[in-house]
């Protein structure tokens, strides 16, 4: 058998100098702060597109490379569709003639990908807080440093841009560290409630994971005001106010686990904690999004969400056609899944608001998700390992009034991309209602 080709890593490695060069060019051109920030966001989207294309072009090489994998010999190439199973069935040999005696230990290629993405983010962070010192530095919330120099008394040299920058604003990583320190302090509170057109929040978060009614999307609810440490660090740097005003956020999390079990092979049918007696990375997630403002009613608003997911929990989010061979053909323990990839358009003049989502979203008729912040438990019911998780298509949600919302969608079926073999056009209709005399709404149906 012809050995599979190796991933073209040089192409992925080349994205780092490409991004650095583009950022350097942007800093060399005299542009308004808003234009500069917009071009930086455009560069990141372009790099993201290149990485996305590289993943698609090298998907087979990533999955069939030198990492150990379990061959589903006794069940054929389609084996492993039960996303909850973690038992190694009949074992086969791996590339290079080694014997597979355990669940997959590999994933080094995907870890290298995550490392390169992390380096790329580091390049962006360094470039944003003063590497290109010859460019004009802005101090948000105070007089521009250029103005401070111009207003210096006659006969004095006045403060230099670099000295003022060092004294007035810490570097990115120090701001990030300080933001994490603040997370452990008691919140000051006292911030006024943002305006909203939807019903009041039914409960507090914490202790609950979410303070809003179930359903997605929720019209009339203000965009999230939560600022995580990464965005706090970015907001404290150059052009922080412009980035904050754009409502584009980047955040994520790492979630690991360990369990003790009397078995040495698999914990199934228990869900999520499928690997016994081992420390594992359940979820490593990075999300870039812009929420639409559905409280205002005077203009159309456009947003998006892109969620990249890596860990052993990918088997519970996998959708056919979205890099699904990692699970359905190879039963890899660790895998990558672009769980959410959609664009949102809010139109305020249809009824009391219409939101259209195009792409891949988490199925709405549900009350919980696999994402770590939405759950406090490490495991779930067995049924939860089989139910619908994501859908790909077009979905429209319309708010009739505060009590009633209707929703309709056309998608390619349960956990299947439109280009996946077996995908079939599927319709969905649902509604959510809350009678005026109660405060607990019915769920989507």
Condensed to tens digits (0 to 9), the pLDDT of residues 115-159 reads 555 555 555 554 444 433 333 433 333 344 344 444 545 555 444
Q: How far is CA 347 from CA 218, 295, 353, in A?
A: 13, 11, 6
Res. 273 pLDDT band, cuts 50 70 90: confident
Residue 393: CA count within 13 A, CB half-sphere: 24
Residue 248 or 18, more confident: 248
Q: What is the distance between the alpha carbons of residues 411 and 427, in angstroms, rounded to a whole number?
A: 7
Q: Which two tokens stand for residue 304?
A: 């998006």
pLDDT given for residue 353 in this prediction: 93
Closest CA to 107 of 159, 69, 157: 69
95 exposure class (CB count in 10 Å sphere: 0-12, 13-18, 19+): middle
Q: Is this model's pTM higher than 0.75 or not? A: no
pLDDT at 34 over 90: no
Per the model's pLDDT, the better-predicted residue between 80 and 224 turns out to be: 224
**pLDDT score at 366:** 62
């Amino acid at each position: 058998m012809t050995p599979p080709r190796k991933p073209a890593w040089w192409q992925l490695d080349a994205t780092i100098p490409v991004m650095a060069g583009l950022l350097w060019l942007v800093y060399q051109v005299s542009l308004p702060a808003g234009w500069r920030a917009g071009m930086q966001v455009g560069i990141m989207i372009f790099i993201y597109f290149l990485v996305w294309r590289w993943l698609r072009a090298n998907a087979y090489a990533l999955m069939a490379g030198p990492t150990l994998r379990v061959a589903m010999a006794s069940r054929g190439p389609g084996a492993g569709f039960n996303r909850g199973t973690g038992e190694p069935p009949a074992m086969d040999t791996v590339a290079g003639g080694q014997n597979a005696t355990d669940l997959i230990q590999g994933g080094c290629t995907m870890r290298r990908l995550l490392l390169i993405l992390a380096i790329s983010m580091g390049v962006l962070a360094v470039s944003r807080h003063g590497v290109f010192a010859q460019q004009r530095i802005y101090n948000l919330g105070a007089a521009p440093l250029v103005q401070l120099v111009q207003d210096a008394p006659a006969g004095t040299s006045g403060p230099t841009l670099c000295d003022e920058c060092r004294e007035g604003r810490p570097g990115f990583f120090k701001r990030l560290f300080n933001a994490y320190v603040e997370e452990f302090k008691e919140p000051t509170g006292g911030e006024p409630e943002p305006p909203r057109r939807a019903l009041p929040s039914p409960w507090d978060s914490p202790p609950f994971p979410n303070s809003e009614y179930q359903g997605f999307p929720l019209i009339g609810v203000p965009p999230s005001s939560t600022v995580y440490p990464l965005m706090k660090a970015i907001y404290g740097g150059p052009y922080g106010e412009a980035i904050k005003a754009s409502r584009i956020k980047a955040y994520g999390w790492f979630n690991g686990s360990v369990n003790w079990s009397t078995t040495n092979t698999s914990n199934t049918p228990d869900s999520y904690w499928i690997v016994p007696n081992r420390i594992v990375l359940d979820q490593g997630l990075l999300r870039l999004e812009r929420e639409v403002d559905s409280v205002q009613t005077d203009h159309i608003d456009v947003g998006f969400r892109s969620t990249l997911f890596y860990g052993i929990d990918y088997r519970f989010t996998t959708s056919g056609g979205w890099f699904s061979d990692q699970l359905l053909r190879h039963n890899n323990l660790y895998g990558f899944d672009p769980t959410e990839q959609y664009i949102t358009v809010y139109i305020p003049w249809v009824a009391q608001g219409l939101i259209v989502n195009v792409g891949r979203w988490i199925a709405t008729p549900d009350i919980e998700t696999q994402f770590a912040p939405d759950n406090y438990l490490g495991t779930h019911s067995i049924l939860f390992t089989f139910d619908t998780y994501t859908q790909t298509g077009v979905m429209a949600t319309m708010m009739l009034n505060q009590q009633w919302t209707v929703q309709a969608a056309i998608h390619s079926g349960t956990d299947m991309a439109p280009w996946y073999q077996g995908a079939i056009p599927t319709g969905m209709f649902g509604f959510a209602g809350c009678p005026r005399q109660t405060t607990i709404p019915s769920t989507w149906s």
